[in-house]
């Protein structure tokens, strides 16, 4: 399988490594010139609990990518989706599938503006990954992926993708209730990502303070109420259990929103907390803690103007 990973940040590199280990022909596509140069010069360095490996993956700028891919894996920021897919339209052939593992809600519909709906695969990942330098990624912690055709239909290609990722070391399975999984991940991020960003601390810090734990629980319960009122049946306890894993097993992981705030980049809070708030309003559900965290992170974004 010819796989193009568009958005070669921490998560993109982690998944590219898995596809490479499984024997796929993988190309990284990104706009960071230092990162691209480092990968092409010495390979992608990936550090996991098992050790450090160096993987010989080609890295290109979007305009350099010209060969049609069987699978395009999209890991850009949500607000870059349209620009990113337009920038790599040369590699989107009539049979190319696009897998979005981006944060937040509504990514499948955004991708469907660029490819046929039957070729959109949606998913979520619970893997931790940090970009520690140009060409260097660290992933210390366990997790996996759930994927499924976003709008229903044939699951054959999605199963091949899941099998490759599993063979490459990232446990992945098909989840027919993928929208419930996406909502659950968004609710988790609405609590954990925002609090990490606002405190400038990793999950271990949150787990050590009752104030943070109370807000985490409140956001999860609000998000579940909004999901259920929107016709997505989910329960709170599995999400709460995942937050416990985050503050223990992933205690030192820098959440993507924390990385963005520290680096002076815009966050994806509109696609996470903002999307939950908008859905809650439409369904007539109050989500005050989720909305407060959304507005506080928006103030962080406003500092960049």
Per-domain residue ranges for the chain? 2-176, 179-302
Q: What is the pLDDT of residue 143?
A: 86
Q: What phi and psi values does residue 139 have, to the nearest 5 degrees?
A: -135, 100
Q: With residue 69 as reference, give the H or E element that holds it.
A: strand 69-74
Record the tokens describing residue 186, joined without a space. 């968004």
Q: In what order do the strands lie in the sheet with 44-48?
A: 51-55, 44-48, 136-139, 130-133
pTM, two decimals, is 0.93
Q: What is the pLDDT of residue 305?
A: 84
CATH class label, 2-176 = alpha beta
In this prediction, the residues of the chain whose per-residue pLDDT falls under 70 are none
Q: What is the pLDDT of residue 280?
A: 98
Write out pLDDT tens, residues 87-136: 999 999 999 999 999 999 999 999 999 999 999 999 999 888 989 999 99
- Does 2-176 match 179-302 in CATH topology? no
Q: CA nearest 13: which of 1, 27, 25?
A: 27
Q: What is the pLDDT of residue 140?
A: 84
Which CATH code is given to the segment(s) 179-302?
1.10.1040.10
């Amino acid at each position: 399988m010819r796989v193009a990973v568009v958005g070669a940040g921490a998560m993109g590199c982690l998944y590219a490594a898995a596809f490479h280990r499984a024997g796929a022909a993988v190309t990284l596509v990104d706009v960071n010139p230092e990162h691209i140069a480092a990968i092409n010069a010495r390979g992608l360095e990936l550090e996991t609990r098992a050790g450090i490996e160096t993987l010989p993956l080609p890295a290109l700028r979007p305009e350099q990518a010209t060969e049609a891919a069987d699978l395009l894996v999209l890991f850009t920021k949500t607000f870059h989706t349209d620009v990113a897919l337009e920038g790599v339209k040369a590699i989107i052939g009539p049979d190319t599938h696009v897998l979005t593992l981006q944060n937040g809600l509504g990514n499948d519909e955004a991708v469907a503006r660029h490819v046929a709906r039957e070729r959109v695969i949606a998913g979520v990942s619970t893997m931790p990954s940090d970009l520690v330098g140009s060409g260097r990624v660290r992933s210390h912690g366990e997790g996996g992926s759930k994927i499924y055709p976003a709008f229903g239909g044939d699951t054959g290609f999605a199963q091949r993708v899941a099998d490759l990722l599993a063979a490459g070391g990232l446990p992945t399975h098909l989840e027919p209730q993928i929208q419930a999984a996406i909502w659950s991940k968004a609710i988790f991020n609405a609590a954990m990502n925002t609090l990490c960003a606002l405190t400038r601390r990793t999950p271990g810090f949150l787990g050590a303070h009752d104030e943070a734990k109370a807000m985490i629980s409140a956001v999860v319960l609000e998000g579940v109420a909004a999901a259920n009122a929107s016709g997505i049946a989910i329960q709170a306890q599995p999400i709460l259990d995942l937050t416990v894993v985050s503050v223990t097993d992933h205690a030192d992981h820098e959440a993507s929103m924390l990385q963005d705030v520290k680096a002076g980049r815009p966050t994806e809070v509109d696609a996470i907390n903002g999307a939950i708030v908008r859905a809650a309003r439409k369904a007539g559900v109050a989500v005050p803690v989720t909305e407060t965290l959304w507005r506080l992170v928006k103030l962080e974004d406003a500092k960049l103007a």
